[in-house]
Amino acid sequence: QQANAQSSNPSGGLQPVPEDKIWAQTLTGNHFNEFWNYQFYFSNGIKVHLIFSAVNFGSLKAPVTGARVSVLFPDGELHQISREYDLNRLVQRKDDGSGRFQLQNDRDLYFQGLLPNEHEIVFKTEKNGVRYDISLSLTDIAEGVQWDEGEFLLNGNQIGLITHIPYARASGHVAVNDRRSNVTGSAYMDHTHQYRTTIQLMDSGKRFVWHQDTDNWTVVYCLTPRGGSLGNQKKRTIGYMLSKRNGEEVTLAGIERVRETTRSTAFGIRVPSVMDLELTNGETIRIVRTDDQEKFSILGELHWVARSAAKSYLGGEIIDIRGEASMLIEGGKPLQGEYNYFVVDR
């Protein structure tokens, strides 16, 4: 129960995100973890997930930046890749007006642009004979928001959660090898930063994205602390739901508890199939997985011996499970959207 008492949401209200919050916030200490999590959903059925990161694994290896990408085509063809670079090669152009965050000066792996006016994401690389060329520009970008100062408490540890892009229109191209598509659709991005590893702090994380248009969207992001069980399938959690309807002001509802009503297996991993989220406004929302589409682990590229050693050293493995889901809000119509969960497999 100690974990439950030491995990809490902020107490203030919604605030615009200060310009300097787009940059890395935690590049000190022995175990910093920082992630910029992008999700793209296109009208032709292509889905792209891209995570930029800055991580210090302690004595396991030198601090690194990274990028993880998955491209899912509508016929089920799936491509996944991870890239890593020394942290000292990170480029953050804070003062030249470009807003560029680049993993290495001579690599086309970056985001840039001053939010919410403009934003561009480029991922161009080759690995194991597979070529990736992704270039996307965002318009109609909803203003980024944070709950109070964007600082939460998780098992007694401060953790930052910021939604830089709750909704935007996205256009550009996505290519893997010779399969290239011009794309239009929507984009989402949140930013998490902490001074201990995800494996040390958490059991799981849940995201849900419903994008209808510029004036109508809902996004959910919550994290369950390690050992946060309250019994009766309930778990303490931190996080929030942001919603916009009919062009009105964005609303915030905190998430305090999650009840994993039923669980099922997706790609060999047990995850909630029906999940009830208890909100600070007294309402309960339900998220139901409807179609599991991909599994991704950064350790998945390793030979099983190396993977076992890394998992043993780190204390576990973070596994992403993604697909489609339906959200049920009391008194409202179901929202058909996208889920993006992670679980820590120990």
pLDDT digits (tens, 9 = 90+) for 88-124: 999 999 999 999 999 999 999 999 999 999 999 999 9
Per-position DSSP letters for 103-128, written without gaps between them: SSTTSSEEEE--TTT-EEEEEEEEET
pLDDT higher than threshold 60 for residue 218: yes
pLDDT digits (tens, 9 = 90+) for 225-283: 998 777 778 999 999 999 999 999 999 999 999 999 999 999 999 999 999 999 999 99
Displacement of CA 254 from its chain's centroid (Å) = 18
Residues 50/38, Cβ–Cβ less than 8 Å: yes
Cis peptide, bond prior to residue 116, ω within 30 of zero: yes
Give the C-alpha distances (Å, rounded to integers) separating 335 from 11, 25, 69, 262, 286. Answer: 28, 34, 26, 20, 10
pLDDT of residue 3: 44
Distance CA 228, CA 163 (A): 24
C-alpha closest to that of 101 among 82, 121, 81: 121
pLDDT digits (tens, 9 = 90+) for 304-330: 666 677 777 677 889 999 999 999 998
pLDDT of residue 313: 63
Place of tokens 């800055």: 54
> Under 8 Å CB-to-CB from 156, ≥6 apart: which residues?
6, 7
What does the angle CA 92 – CA 94 – CA 100 come to, to the nearest 5 degrees?
50
